[in-house]
Amino acid sequence: MHTFDDAVPKDPPYVVEIVAESPGSVMTASGIPIITHRALDSADRPDLVMIPSILTDASTWRRRCHFGITRWLTAVHERGALIGASCTGVFFLAETGLLDGKEATLHWSHARAFQEAFPQVRLNLAKMLLITGGHGELVMSGAATSWHDLVLYIVARQLGPPVAHVLAKFYAMQWHADGQAPFAVFTPTMDHGDVLVLKAQQWLQTNHAIAHPVEEMVRLAGIPERTFKRRFTRATALSPIQYVQHLRIDQAKRRLEGTRDAVDEISWRVGYEDPAFFRRLFKRLTGIAPGAYRRTFTLPDFDRF
């Protein structure tokens, strides 16, 4: 790449090695083998460690089952290594305890499993890229493809912003400036065990657009309003009105993606008579305006290609 841009160093700035608990061939989840360069115990002083996204059922993550990896990560961190983790790779980073009391991010679909495994870590899913640690030495990215953000940040930090700009243009990488919130799908907790709340959630699926849905849920539940709201919040981690807002905005996102309906029409269909309020709420929950969301997520007309 230095042949067309002087910003890129002519000599390779990194010596890249793949390390594992033992050297040799490692079979990936897709059935493609990867040859590791060396074992962890012989790679004791790296300047930079990148933990990739791993294919795992995060809902069944077992604590304290990766002693070799966590001990190594803790040791290289103490020696000053910069550590980056992408998506589910953050589980390994959290196992070290280095994130305790700090913020972290990863793919939004793994949020519940991560919080159950590591309640002492504060998740901030709105951020696609998050830097923490005493010296900014722990860097995390959210969804798997946001490794672009992780790599560009590290390149900019270590080699300078001009190099990161060149790489972004050369490889057609895009910076996720709006964070991870626009990509998240509302996946409410349904296995909480409270039958009354579950019935209210199921009722909301088809009745969220009616006027005053919270009041109607309370009436259908047949219990005092304060009791219902307390049980609902305890079961879902959202107050009834927050839950309705998330559900309505999720439905609005689907309409923006799949229809040509005007934003005001979509606002009315999901339950908001005031389009201005709908726009403010949409931006607060997703990070971008409805029109920008539509431009970002509407699939192109492939017949034209």
Bridge partners of residue 104, in order along the sequence: 123
- Which tens digits make up the pLDDT trace of 269-301? 999 999 999 999 999 999 899 999 998 888 766
CATH 3.40.50.880 fits 19-183, yes or no: yes
- DSSP, collapsed to helix, strand or coil, labels residue 41 as helix
* Mean per-residue pLDDT, 141-162: 87
pLDDT of 245 above 60: yes
pLDDT of 109 above 90: no
Confidence of residue 1 (pLDDT cuts 50, 70, 90): very low
Tally the C-alpha atoms within 13 A of residue 114's C-alpha that lie toward its C-beta.
26
Confidence of residue 162 (pLDDT cuts 50, 70, 90): confident
What the block records as the tokens of 79 is 């020696």
Where do the H-state alpha helices sit in the chain?
67-78, 89-95, 111-117, 147-159, 161-170, 195-207, 213-221, 225-236, 240-258, 263-270, 275-286, 290-297
Q: What is the spatial distance between Cα 170 and Cα 2, in angstroms, rounded to a whole number?
A: 11
pLDDT of 128 above 90: no
pLDDT at 240: 97
What the block records as the tokens of 174 is 């895009």
Confidence of residue 239 (pLDDT cuts 50, 70, 90): very high
* Mean per-residue pLDDT, 64-78: 91
Q: What is the spatial distance between Cα 168 and Cα 226, in angstroms, rounded to a whole number?
A: 52
Non-local CB neighbours of 34 within 8 Å, separated by 6+ positions:
18, 25, 26, 27, 28
The answer to which of 49-63, 190-204, 218-232, 237-251 has the lowest mean pLDDT is 49-63
- CATH architecture assignment, domain 195-297: Orthogonal Bundle (1.10)
Domain chopping of the chain, boundaries: 19-183, 195-297
| Residue among 129, 94, 131, 130 nearest 115 (CA) | 94
Q: What is the spatial distance between Cα 97 and Cα 109, in angstroms, rounded to a whole number?
A: 22
pLDDT at 2: 45
pLDDT at 86: 92
pLDDT at 3: 53
- Which tens digits make up the pLDDT trace of 179-208? 777 777 888 889 999 999 999 999 999 999
What the block records as the tokens of 82 is 């910069």
What the block records as the tokens of 77 is 């961190």
Question: Tokens 């360069």 belong to which residue?
Answer: 37
| Residue among 138, 162, 141, 136 nearest 151 (CA) | 141
pLDDT at 56: 64
